């Protein structure tokens, strides 16, 4: 039996191992969670860009749809080199006014290609797209729905209301957060395509606001994290950033879109004469999952603009979502006395203690995203399912699960039969731990660790 309470060895990429099919059994907690959504399968975002005329605008809608929500078939056309598997899909984009009347409807048709079956069912792989719709002044709601898919994979997204008010005293369009890119004289802000939210671990972003200022003005801004709700997963609270920015009337906004990527706004130095632009830096790498607000106050007045948003961990491991399971699965790396102390308070206190424990071993403390925590619980998720059986319903707490969680994916797995006909697995690690682990099925039908030797 391995007794490993030391820290994780160098992180390896988590991959799916080849394992025998699971027999019918009652699912463990991670399996039950995985039966639900692994994040959303359709994400969208929308941003409004005023036209030069000033009395109309372009609404740019971006989306990304998960590969496992599409129906892929093998490509039979020998002249088609785009990929070995293809999925044709249609997306309906509806723009409804404030009383629900459909003002515009676009049907977006495209084909997604992949080269392997595994890629076609990859839950983390996404196909991107965007479109443009002209709008008049008013308040709108954008609804996206996948069409022509099997019922179980149909998805719908309804974005929060958007307003275009060219004669308004304050904001002409709603503020939105995007990924900023500067390449020489080229300055762009690209949609995050995350239902108007910010992904946990994102690169530095900016919040873009467009106002009626005819001349440059000074604004004080603050980015603050809102209090946690009773059902929220509690992290730590550090977001309280303040600063000063000036609006710019010498920037002209131009929207761009392509069928296979998110829409973006290009900021060019040219007088717009109709509006001013405010760009607020958002230090996304410092933000933990939670609810936030960007607040702008014009210097010398009480004029205030707010942009609420959320930071969400799209692929948060299922084993980390349930506090009791997150604590139990620490058994391999956390000393018993520490583990007991992590769980002797209220749920809120225990969650904060758990996160504090992980922060002490964060390899990149300058950012909020903890790669070591994420890798550990992704391994737990995999082990819980891959190594479960009738006799061991939760693969996390099996011998194979333990080795996988501690050392990651083996370089090679060899399977053979012992003299008595029982199955044997050799897990060979040629880097990192550099050991070979032998597992054999015992009389109870359970894989048990027989030996560990140095890998030659």
Residues 297 and 402 in one domain: no
Residues 281, 370, single domain; the answer is: no
Tell me the C-alpha distance between 361 and 370, whole Å.
9
Both 307 and 325 in a single domain?
no
The whole-model pTM stands at: 0.83
Q: Six-digit token pair at 290?
A: 């939670």
Query: Per-residue pLDDT averaged across 156-185, rounded?
Result: 90
Q: How far apart are CA 423 and CA 402, in angstroms?
A: 19
pLDDT, residue 28, reads 60
Give the end of a domain, one of 265, 291, 312. Answer: 312
Predicted confidence band at 224 (pLDDT cuts at 50, 70, 90)? very high
Give per-residue pLDDT as tens, 83-113: 999 998 899 999 999 999 999 999 999 899 9
pLDDT per residue over 137-150, tens digit each?
Answer: 999 999 999 887 66
Same domain, 329 and 263: no
Is 2 contained in some domain?
A: no
pLDDT digits (tens, 9 = 90+) for 257-281: 988 889 999 998 887 667 899 999 9
Is the residue at 339 inside a domain? Answer: yes
% residues pLDDT > 90 (the chain): 61
Where among 284, 312, 340 does a domain terminate? 312
pLDDT value of residue 29: 57
Domain assignment present for 12: no
Whether residue 380 is found in the same domain as residue 427: yes
Domain tally, the chain: 2
Q: Which of 312, 338, 365 is the endpoint of a domain?
A: 312
Task: Please name the helix (run of DSSP H) or strand (run of DSSP E) that holds residue 307, with its range, or none.
Answer: strand 304-312
Examine the domain organization and report whether 344 and 238 are in the same domain: no
**Banded pLDDT at 45 (limits 50, 70, 90):** very high
Which has more confidence, 212 or 295? 295
Integer Cα distance of 232 and 209 in angstroms = 29
Domain membership of residue 6 (yes or no) is no
> Do 297 and 325 reside in the same domain of the chain?
no
pLDDT (tens digit, 9 = 90+) per residue, 399-412?
999 999 999 999 99
Asked whether residue 305 falls in the same domain as residue 337, the answer is no
Lay out the sheet containing 126-135: strands in order across: 42-50, 57-66, 126-135
| Residue 16 maps to a domain | no
Q: What is the mean pLDDT of residues 340-350?
A: 89
On whether residue 7 sits in a domain, the answer given is no
Q: Quote the domain boundaries for residue 199.
A: 42-312
In the predicted structure, residue 20 carries a pLDDT above the cut 60: no
- For residue 286, being part of any structural domain is answered with yes
């Amino acid at each position: 039996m391995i007794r490993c309470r030391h820290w994780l060895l160098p992180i390896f990429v988590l991959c799916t191992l080849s394992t025998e099919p699971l027999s019918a059994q009652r699912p463990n907690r991670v399996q039950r969670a995985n039966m639900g959504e692994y994040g959303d399968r359709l994400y969208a975002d929308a941003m409004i860009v005023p036209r030069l005329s000033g009395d109309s605008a372009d609404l740019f809608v971006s989306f990304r749809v998960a590969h496992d929500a599409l129906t892929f078939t093998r490509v039979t056309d020998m002249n088609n080199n785009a990929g070995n598997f293809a999925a044709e899909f249609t997306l309906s984009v509806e723009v409804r006014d404030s009383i629900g009347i459909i003002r515009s409807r676009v049907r977006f048709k495209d084909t997604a290609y992949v080269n392997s079956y595994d890629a076609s069912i990859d839950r983390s792989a996404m196909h991107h797209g965007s479109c443009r719709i002209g709008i008049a002044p008013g308040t709108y709601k954008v609804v996206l729905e996948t069409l022509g898919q099997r019922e179980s994979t149909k998805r719908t997204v309804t974005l929060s209301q958007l307003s275009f008010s060219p004669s308004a005293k304050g904001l002409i369009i709603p503020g939105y957060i995007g990924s900023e890119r500067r390449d020489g004289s080229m300055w762009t802000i690209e949609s995050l395509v995350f239902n108007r939210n910010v992904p946990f671990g994102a690169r530095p972003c900016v919040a873009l606001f467009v106002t009626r200022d005819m001349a440059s003005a000074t604004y004080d801004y603050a980015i603050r994290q809102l209090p946690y709700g009773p059902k929220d997963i509690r992290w730590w609270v550090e977001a309280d950033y303040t600063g000063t920015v000036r609006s710019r009337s010498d920037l002209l906004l131009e929207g761009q879109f392509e069928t296979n990527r998110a829409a973006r706004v290009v900021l060019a130095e040219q007088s717009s004469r109709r509006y001013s632009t405010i760009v607020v830096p958002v230090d996304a790498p410092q933000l933990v999952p939670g609810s936030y607000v960007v607040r702008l106050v014009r210097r010398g007045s009480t004029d205030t603009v707010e942009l609420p948003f959320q930071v969400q961990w799209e692929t948060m491991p299922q084993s980390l979502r349930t506090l009791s399971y997150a604590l139990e699965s620490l058994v391999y790396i956390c000393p018993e006395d520490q583990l007991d102390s992590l769980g002797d308070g209220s749920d809120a206190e225990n969650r904060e203690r758990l996160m504090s424990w992980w922060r002490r071993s964060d390899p990149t403390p300058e950012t909020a995203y903890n790669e070591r925590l994420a890798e550990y619980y992704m391994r737990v998720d995999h082990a819980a399912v891959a190594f479960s059986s009738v006799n061991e319903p939760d693969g996390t707490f099996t011998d194979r699960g333990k080795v996988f969680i501690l050392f990651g994916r083996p370089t090679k797995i060899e399977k053979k039969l012992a003299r008595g006909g029982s199955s044997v697995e050799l897990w060979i690690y040629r880097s990192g731990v550099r050991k070979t682990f032998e597992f054999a099925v015992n009389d109870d039908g359970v894989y048990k660790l027989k030996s560990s030797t140095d890998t030659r």
